[in-house]
Amino acid sequence: MTDYFSVLSGWLIPIKRAMDEWEIDFHTALAGCGIKTSDFKDKESRLSADRVAQLIEYCNRVKNRHDFAITVAENFHPGTFHVLGYAMMASDSLYDAFKRIVRYKKVVSNTCSIKIEESPEVCKLVLTPFLYESTNRPVLSHNSIITFIATLVKFARETSSHNFKPLEVNLNWSNTEEKFQFLNDFFNCPVNFDQNEISFSCNTVIFKAPLLGGNPMVTQAHEKMLNEFLSRLDKNDVVQTVKNNIYDMLPLGTPTQTDIAKQIGMSLRNLQRKLNEQDACYRDLLEETRKKLALEYITQVHLSLSEVGYLVGFANIGNFNRAFKRWTNYAPGEYRKDKHLA
């Protein structure tokens, strides 16, 4: 793991709004923390995670307060997360939106891992910061963690028709000085310190309830842009490159591994070797991409079932029906009726 950890410059959007609210000079603060003003204008630039943490602490120190992270979260803007923010806004549910956070985490930052744990009653998002190899210090400061979790909760409140609040928030540090008491007011739920994880949980029914702004056509367009963005972030990520090309080629029929290798200018043997290095298999990537797209297209009731099959590379409706049943245990038509889409 590299000792250079970064976050998307889009975080400067809510940070600037929060500074304006606290009457802190934005450009002076950036200069004081070694951040270039030009980074605010380039929405695809990356900022040092440490310097963003310093910027949050700078604002707390200037005003002799502790809650700047919450003010940043309250000023959430979809552009904070680049295209991912807009894809989240158009997601079918909070669960769907947060699954996109997990899938496209590298767009936002490379500072932590994120996963969703779910049960019939409770869904929990767990955040695990990476450590600097040289010092074993967590990459994310306490205030950076609060900013991120509070931003996700603010997003949930903005998009959900429910009066969203977590069931609980868990933090893995002590509150010995009791300087984080403001968190109870913002989260409106128990905030537990000295835990063995960083997480927040919520009711599964609310988490998976449809969002009023859900629009699968919009999310598909945004995900194509996100996949291309990820490819630019990591040009050595052959898995993501293969997925992007499968996505593009499926409406023309099922692409073979040879087709993909030719498309990306690589020999078949070299492609197989690079996928193997990333513990990936072409057949699994094809299946995963097909399934994901099919589950998105099936919600678009203006598309016939045969059109959905065609869009994911099946020339024969019977083959599509069998594949869909393998993925979901439903025939496509049954799936639409069961999900009240028909």
Residue 204 CA to its chain's centroid (Å)? 19
Q: CA-to-CA distance for 49 and 10, rounded, in angstroms?
A: 13
Which amino acid, residue 253?
G
Low-confidence ranges of the chain (pLDDT < 50): 1-3
Q: Report the pLDDT value the prediction gives residue 236, as an integer from 0 to 100.
A: 61
CA nearest neighbour of 124 among 183, 180, 193, 207: 207
Reference 85, options 177, 159, 175; nearest CA is 159
> Rounded to the nearest 5°, which phi and psi values hold at 67?
-110, 25
Residue type for 336, please? R
Walk me through the domains of the chain, giving residue ranges and CATH numbers: 6-207 (3.90.1520.10), 235-338 (1.10.10.60)
Alpha helices in 104-141 (DSSP H): 105-108
Residue 309's CB is within 10 A of a number of other CB atoms, namely 24
Residue (of 101, 98, 130, 125) closest to 113 by Cα position:
130
At 136 the pLDDT is 82
Which two tokens mark 104?
Answer: 């496209």
Scan for tokens 């898995």, then name that residue: 239
Beta strands in the chain (DSSP E): 6-8, 46-48, 112-118, 122-129, 168-170, 191-192, 198-203
Distance (Å, whole) CA 331 – CA 342: 13
Residue 2: predicted pLDDT: 39
189, 92, 240, 322 alpha-carbon torsion, rounded to 10°? 130
Q: Quote the pTM value.
A: 0.73
Distance of CA 257 to the CA centre of its chain: 28
Residues 184 and 164: their CA atoms lie apart, in Å, by 14
| Strand bridging mode 46-48 / 112-118 | unpaired
Query: What's the token pair of residue 37?
Result: 């003003």
Core vs surface per residue 268-286: b (16+ CB within 10 A) or e: eeebbebbeeeebebeebb
Contact between residue 204 and residue 118 where contact means Cβ atoms under 8 Å apart: yes
